[in-house]
Amino acid sequence: MVDFRCIAIETATIESGVAACNGDQIAMVRLNESRNTSRRLYHAIAEAMERVDLVIADIDCVACGCGPGSFTGVRVAAAAAQAISFAQNVPVCRVSSLAALAQAALRRGISMPVAACLDARMGEVYLGIYKRDATGKLVTVVEDSLAGPDDFRFAVGAGQMLLAGNGWGAYAELVANNSAFVAASDFDAWPDALAVIEIAREQFLSGDVVESFAALPNYLRNKVTY
């Protein structure tokens, strides 16, 4: 295993947390209390690093779940990643929070594509489709987008999928309209910092990184809802 050292932040949903990776050692600390996320964040990062014997001066990069998700949560992750990146002079891996949701759901050991979906409120959802390629790397099938539950339909021939995320559970019509493509479901799946670390490792090795000023959130919608 490549000696990869990274801090990850995923605060796009209520199941927020951080993770630290030092080679084959990985630790994740959950935050959960969304109202206190920004206050607890740096303490949680320090705790995760301590668990894997990592000091911040040694990190190769910092990774953040850049959204879509909670506007406040996505901003918290981006701001923290920018600050750490700038202070330590290391790049940032921007990881889709929907990709992290798919990665977390794939821990069930399934091989089918994952339709990752989060409730965007205001009668809409954030949705993206991901799968593993022949090497096991997570790849995008359908780019993250903002969708209406009444209107969204999988393309004909899309094949069987795992529906993952609370967006599916929030809108029964979204599931009903796409029932022919449903092989399994996990409405309780969430993006987590461990998944962000796993994706960031691949991104870092392939050079898919940005400088601190470019570590921007991906809101998908400009109107703030929560």
Q: What is the pLDDT of residue 37?
A: 66
């911040």: which residue's tokens? 56
Q: Start-end ranges of CATH 3.30.420.40 in the chain?
A: 5-97+191-214, 99-186
Q: What is the pLDDT of residue 68?
A: 97
Q: What percent of the chain has pLDDT over 70?
A: 94
CB-neighbour burial class of residue 156 (10 A; exposed 0-12, middle 13-18, buried 19+): exposed
Q: What is the pLDDT of residue 34?
A: 54
Does the structural domain 5-97+191-214 have CATH classification 3.30.420.40? yes
CATH number of 99-186: 3.30.420.40
> Cβ distance 90 to 60 under 8 Å?
yes
Task: Report CA dihedral (196, 198, 200, 206) to the nearest 10 degrees.
Answer: -160
Q: What is the pLDDT of residue 224?
A: 47
Q: What is the pLDDT of residue 133?
A: 93
- Per-residue pLDDT at 226 exceeds 50: no
How do residues 51-96 score in pLDDT, each as one tens digit? 999 999 999 999 999 999 999 999 999 999 999 999 999 999 999 9
